Amino acid sequence: MRRAARTAPLLALLLLAAAAEAGDEWIPGATRAAAEAALRADGPDAAASVIDAVAAAGDSSLIRPENLRACRVEAAKAAVDLLPPDLAAPRATKLLLAALRADKGSTGGAWEAAQQLRRSLLHRVDDENGEPFLRGLQEIYPGEPSYARDLGFLLLDVGRREDAKASFRSAVRISPSAVQAAMRLAWLEEQDGAQDEAIALYEGVVKARPDEMQARYAIAQIKGYVQSDFDGARTVLDEAARHASANLGAAAAESSLTRIREIRASLDERSRTRSRIREIDRRATRLLWMSGVGAAAVCAAIAFLLRDRRKG
């Protein structure tokens, strides 16, 4: 078995060369057959050696260039199907990126395999292989925002917040209609205290996709809860209600209108509380000024105001 494992790469190249000469239809099966034979002979490392041999076959004259891409695509699929993730991912990413670059970004078998691998890497939160793979896809398909978006989510999952924000920004620059990237970037900006930036991003989402009600709610909540712009928040909610009634289906419209009523009620209560606090503050300041009371009374008044704020 050890001898079979040592000779597996050479046998794989010979088998692939024979298949290439026999006809294109033999190439995928021959590629997988070689990897499967090595796996049975001596386990995953031997199968990985076969796949490495296919990856390096471009330096050999055994396989015609027009057939090499098909070999690489099938080798990548075999890696994903036959090898454990730590052996599969680095080989599959390298093979597929090479095949896609050779195809100049066409949407054939290599592209389909790349999408499957992309989903797998994201599911496993494999940033070691996923980051270079997604960056490679961005290079090959510069006008496709989903790769920058997916990279943002991957980086966010592993705690690289600023890098994730940069990737989400790239996706939005590529396409303002990259709603998922814009929504997550807006949420991150909101959490980081960049409220104006968050509102601008949410407004961009509404412009690109008017039915995205979550963006409308977020704008109203930032304006009302954070910026105390209650009139501005009500204007946003009024427009959201009009849009929901005119453009959404019955069930979706009713759900949206219910949520709008809830936000409005909360904002109205917050507005009334702030008005009461301002009035109490004004009266207390006036009384203290007129009566000239001592420090103890001033402290008591401040404690009362703070307690009223907490209740609000």
Q: What is the pLDDT of residues 40-60, one digit of tens each?
A: 878 888 888 888 887 776 655
List of the chain residues with pLDDT < 70: 1-28, 57-66, 105-108, 277-312
Give the CA-trace dihedral at 24, 27, 28, 30, to 10 degrees.
Answer: 150
Query: Nearest CA to 112 among 53, 178, 173, 28?
Result: 28
User: What is the value of pTM for the model shown?
Assistant: 0.77
d(CA 14, CA 207): 58
d(CA 233, CA 263): 10
* Residue 225 DSSP code: I
Residues with Cβ within 8 Å of 100's Cβ and at least 6 positions away in sequence, in order, are: 106, 110, 111, 114, 136, 137, 140
Residues with Cβ within 8 Å of 221's Cβ and at least 6 positions away in sequence, in order, are: 233, 263, 267
